[in-house]
């Protein structure tokens, strides 16, 4: 549209200016020509009158051959400075008297009456000499007009005005055209800019999407790498458990049985820890900062890290007990740690040592890090990196690994996590001397949540005994949980589904608590059941349990009490104590 | 300045003087030449006077009547006068030339040339035409018996005297421009 308007205006203006200029010049010319013609006509009339006066005067001298008198009249006529030459001729055409100024030839005889311009700026006229009808001769007169220079000067003023007007119009027209061009250019540039901006936005969005997708796929890749080791690990655990159980049946020696039970318990605990880490790792959620005890968290990840590395790599953990708490997204922290470990593993193709350490680093008020930090460092004895690689190693998609073996997103995730958590990353590396990557996170003013061990103190709550309503679709799980509940001094009534639980509650509200699985067959799930109980029996507490991390997230976000599966007896006890404790 | 208009003698008496100094033949030829120029000029002048003189209406029988030039007595002009009047149209009137006797010149003429008359006859005719609208022209006459216009030779040229008083008496109006060319004007030029 801008282009169309511009094309219209730039096309029209010069034509308009040119037309006006042409009209102006034409008008000036016409005016000059008319003025010149008028001037000339006037000059001719003037000359004619002069000739006629002379003709009347010389009639008698001509009739009676008085050349002297005729010459006297001619001389009198020539007093007029504009008269260039005068001639008086008798009826036979012979000159009787004449006079001509310098440079002017005497008028020729026998010329037709009327004007015959002979020279620039002069007019020639002839007048017959007639007395009482008798033709006596002819007077011819040449009259000069104003010099050309003086006439030009007379028109000069007008010409100057026209010239000035023309110049003004040309300048104006040119200026306007230039302005319009500039405007058009500006408009185009603005459009280009807007287009570029839109493209940039689109590209940014696409890139963000691609990065997100890649991040996810990187996660999945890491997960894939873990899978083999985990399957192997689980088989080992199952081997221990299964073999342990077999041996338990075959021995009655209490010492031996205790050792076997301890071995089975250890294997089951390791399995539970492993699945918890996997669920946390596979969780896909936005950054959700929580106060985290780094030491406990690292210790919790020990298994996962060991699984993600190879057997020829020796892993050492080094974290003091008095680490400050930090406030970060626990899931992202774990991913970052895994990424650092995987990166270290890949830097040690021939095996080596990997140290995961954590230290409190007090802030230095004068330095660029005035705040207290907790620094997590992963050190390997691998191939190291050149300064050029070090410089780029946190860039997204930068990778030294072969095609298909790395996304180049691992360390960039570490960097991004550190930045979004208010921390920083450091890297120390030299070719052949290994690499140390530090992830420093600011100290949190809050302290980490209380440990479940505290629940032991509140145990008396359960001593009152009583009944709870267990909602669980799996018979095996239900049987074990009922045993555990009874072991805690409570009795349980079981419902197979949320619908059944609602029906039971409608008849019998004499329960201390509703303990429900979250994901069950049927139209209602644990959350909806909890909602129902909250609405209809506000004094009846609800404790939910699930093995699905997403369901657990949803329950936590609604403020519901939750016990993640799998759980051990002490954990169940603590969760029940917590749920039964009167709310403030 | 036309050579044809220049007259080759000083006075009419020159041939006589020339004869007396023994150069008669040469000067006679010059006189003949002078004669041949003087009278054609005068014939022309006779016709042109008509253009510079106004006659009263009563002088003509009708608006279309011609102007009649009469040569009384001996005719010195010959065919020159006839040539001079031929085709002339003055104030819308044709011009006629007549050779008349002294008696005939008393009526029907507007211009009468008396140069060909003897002094007595001239005087008698002038008296007869006095106070009548007739332009009388004499030729180098005694000042006492001149016509309204009297030819003279001055500086080799044919000039004339004008008696404007007598012209007014005769009812003629002589153009002032003609008066301005006269050698003398009796009665003033206005």
Would you list the domain boundaries of chain A? 2-146, 285-442, 452-580
Mean pLDDT of all residues in A345-369 = 85
Helix (H, G, I), strand (E, B) or coil at B145: helix
Nearest to residue A63, comparing CAs of B76, B19, B69, B90? B90
Q: Which domains does chain B have, with CATH numbers?
A: 11-38 (no CATH), 41-186 (3.40.50.2300)
- Judged against a pLDDT cut of 80, whether residue A361 lies above it is answered with yes
Q: Does A88 touch chain B (CB under 8 A)?
A: no
In the prediction, which pLDDT does A514 show? 93
**Alpha carbons A483 and A517: distance in angstroms, whole number:** 16
Q: Comparing A551 with A495, which gets the higher pLDDT? A: A495
Lowest mean pLDDT among A165-169, A491-495, B108-112, B178-182: A165-169
| Spatial distance between the Cα atoms of B108 and B117, rounded to a whole number of angstroms | 18
How far is residue A406's CA from residue A392's CA, in Å, rounded to a whole number?
A: 15
Q: So what's the pLDDT on residue A395?
A: 66
Specify whether domain A285-442 bears CATH 3.80.30.20: no
Q: Tell me: pLDDT of A12 over 80.
A: no
A63/B52 Cβ within 8 A: yes
Tell whether B50 lies on the interface with A, counting CB pairs under 8 A: yes
**pLDDT higher for B118 or A11?**
B118
At residue B21, does pLDDT exceed 50? no
Q: B-contacting residues of A 149-168, CB under 8 Å?
A: none
Q: Which pLDDT score, from 0 to 100, does residue A5 have?
A: 42
Q: Are strands B157-163 and B149-154 parallel, antiparallel or unpaired?
A: antiparallel
Fold of domain A452-580: Rossmann fold (3.40.50)
Q: What is the mean pLDDT of chain A?
A: 80
The H or E element that residue B128 is part of is: helix B119-129
Q: Residue A64 is nearest to which of B2, B45, B88, comparing CB atoms? A: B45
Tokens of B39: 């009278």
Query: pLDDT category, A192, cuts 50, 70, 90?
Result: very high
Predicted pLDDT of residue B19: 47
User: Residue A108's pLDDT is what?
Assistant: 59
Percentage of chain A with pLDDT > 90? 14
pLDDT score, position B96: 92
Of residues A463 and A25, which shows the higher confidence score? A25
Share of chain B above pLDDT 70, in %: 80
Measured CA distances, A344 to A352, A436, A440, B8, B12 (Å) = 10, 9, 18, 153, 162
Which two three-digit tokens encode residue A228?
Answer: 């083999």
Task: Quick: pLDDT tens for A272-318.
Answer: 767 766 665 555 444 556 788 888 888 878 877 877 777 888 888 88
B94 touches chain A (CB under 8 A): no
Q: Specify the higher pLDDT residue, B19 or A86.
A: A86
Distances (CA, A) of A474 to A166, A270, A274, A513, B174: 101, 23, 22, 19, 166
Contact A143, A46 (CB under 8 A): yes
Please tell me the least confidently modeled range out of A131-135, A403-407, A413-417: A403-407
Closest CA to A478 of A565, A397, A396: A565
Query: According to the model, what pLDDT value does residue A557 have?
Result: 74
Distance to chain B for A90, nearest Cα, Å: 10
* Domain A2-146 architecture: 2-Layer Sandwich (3.30)
pLDDT higher than 70, residue A269: yes
- The answer to whether the CB atoms of B48 and A66 lie below 8 A apart is no
Q: Which pair of tokens denotes residue A65? A: 């051959």
Query: What residues of chain A lie within 8 A of the CB of B180, using their CB?
Result: 60, 69
Closest by CA position to A554, among listed A522, A527, A516: A527
Higher local confidence (pLDDT), A396 or A53: A53
Reported as a pLDDT band with limits 50, 70 and 90, residue B138 is: very high
The residue length of chain A stands at 584
Confidence label for A4 from pLDDT (cuts 50, 70 and 90): very low
């Amino acid at each position: 549209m801008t282009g169309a308007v511009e094309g219209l205006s730039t096309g029209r203006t010069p034509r308009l200016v040119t037309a006006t200029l042409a009209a102006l010049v034409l008008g000036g010319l016409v005016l000059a020509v008319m003025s010149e013609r008028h001037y000339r006509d006037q000059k001719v009339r003037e000359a004619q009158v002069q000739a006629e006066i002379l003709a009347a005067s010389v009639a008698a001298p001509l009739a009676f051959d008085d050349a002297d008198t005729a010459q006297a009249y001619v001389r009198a006529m020539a007093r007029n400075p504009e008269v260039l030459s005068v001639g008086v001729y008798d009826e036979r055409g012979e000159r009787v008297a004449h006079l001509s100024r310098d440079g002017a030839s005497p008028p020729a005889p026998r010329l037709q009456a009327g004007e015959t311009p002979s020279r620039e700026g002069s007019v020639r006229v002839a007048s017959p000499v007639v007395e009482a009808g008798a033709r006596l001769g002819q007077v011819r007169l040449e009259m000069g007009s104003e010099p050309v220079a003086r006439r030009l000067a007379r028109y000069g003023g007008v010409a100057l005005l026209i010239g000035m007007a023309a110049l003004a119009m040309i300048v104006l027209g040119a200026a306007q055209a230039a302005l319009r061009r500039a405007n058009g250019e500006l408009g185009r540039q603005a459009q280009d800019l807007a287009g570029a901006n839109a493209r940039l936005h689109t590209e940014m969005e696409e890139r963000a999407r691609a990065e997100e997708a890649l991040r996810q796929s990187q996660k999945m890749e890491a997960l894939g790498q873990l899978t083999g080791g985990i399957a192997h690990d689980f088989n080992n655990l199952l081997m221990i458990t299964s073999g342990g159980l077999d041996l338990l049946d075959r021995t009655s020696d209490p010492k031996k049985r205790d050792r076997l039970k301890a071995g089975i318990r250890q294997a089951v605990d390791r399995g539970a820890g492993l699945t918890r880490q996997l669920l946390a790792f596979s969780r896909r959620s936005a950054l959700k900062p929580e106060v985290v005890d780094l030491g406990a968290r690292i210790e919790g990840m020990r298994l996962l890290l060991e699984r993600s590395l190879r057997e020829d790599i020796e892993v050492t953990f080094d974290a003091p007990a008095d680490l400050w708490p930090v406030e970060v997204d626990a899931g992202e922290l774990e991913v970052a740690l895994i990424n650092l470990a995987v990166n270290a593993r890949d830097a040690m193709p021939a095996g080596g040592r990997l140290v995961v350490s954590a230290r409190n680093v007090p802030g230095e008020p004068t330095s660029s890090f005035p705040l207290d930090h907790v620094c997590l460092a992963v050190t390997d004895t691998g191939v190291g990196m050149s300064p050029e690689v070090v410089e780029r190693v946190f860039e997204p998609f930068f990778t030294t690994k072969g095609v298909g073996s790395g996304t180049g997103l691992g360390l960039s995730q570490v960097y991004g996590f550190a930045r979004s958590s208010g921390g920083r990353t450091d890297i120390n590396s030299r070719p052949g001397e290994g690499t140390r990557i530090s992830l420093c996170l600011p100290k949190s003013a809050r302290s980490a949540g209380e440990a479940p061990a505290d629940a032991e103190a509140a145990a008396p709550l359960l001593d009152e005994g009583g009944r709870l309503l267990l909602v669980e679709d799996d018979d095996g799980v239900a049987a074990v949980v009922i045993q555990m509940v009874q072991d805690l001094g409570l009795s349980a009534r079981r419902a197979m589904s949320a619908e059944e639980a609602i029906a039971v509650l409608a008849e019998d509200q004499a329960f201390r608590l509703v303990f429900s699985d979250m994901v069950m067959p049927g139209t209602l799930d644990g959350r909806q059941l909890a909602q129902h109980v909250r609405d209809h029996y506000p004094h009846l507490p609800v404790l939910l349990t699930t093995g699905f991390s997403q369901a657990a997230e949803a329950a936590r976000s609604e403020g519901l009490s939750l016990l993640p599966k799998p759980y051990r007896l002490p954990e169940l006890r603590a969760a029940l104590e917590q749920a039964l404790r009167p709310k403030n | 300045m036309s050579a044809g208009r220049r007259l080759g003698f000083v006075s009419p008496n020159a041939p006589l003087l020339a004869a007396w100094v023994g150069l008669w033949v040469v000067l006679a030829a010059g006189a003949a030449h002078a004669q041949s120029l003087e009278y054609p000029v005068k014939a022309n002048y006779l016709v042109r006077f008509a253009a510079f003189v106004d006659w009263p209406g009563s002088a003509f029988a009708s608006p279309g009547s011609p102007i009649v030039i009469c040569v009384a007595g001996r005719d010195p002009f010959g065919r020159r006068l006839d040539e001079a009047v031929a085709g002339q149209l003055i104030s819308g009137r044709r011009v006629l030339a007549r050779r008349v006797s002294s008696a005939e010149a008393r009526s029907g003429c507007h211009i009468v040339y008396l140069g060909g008359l003897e002094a007595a006859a001239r005087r008698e005719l002038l008296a007869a035409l006095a106070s009548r609208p007739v332009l009388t022209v004499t030729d180098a006459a005694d000042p006492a018996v001149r016509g309204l216009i009297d030819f003279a030779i001055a500086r080799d040229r044919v000039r004339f005297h004008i008696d404007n008083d007598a012209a007014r008496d005769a009812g003629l109006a002589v153009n002032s421009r003609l008066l301005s060319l006269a050698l003398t004007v009796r009665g003033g030029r206005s």
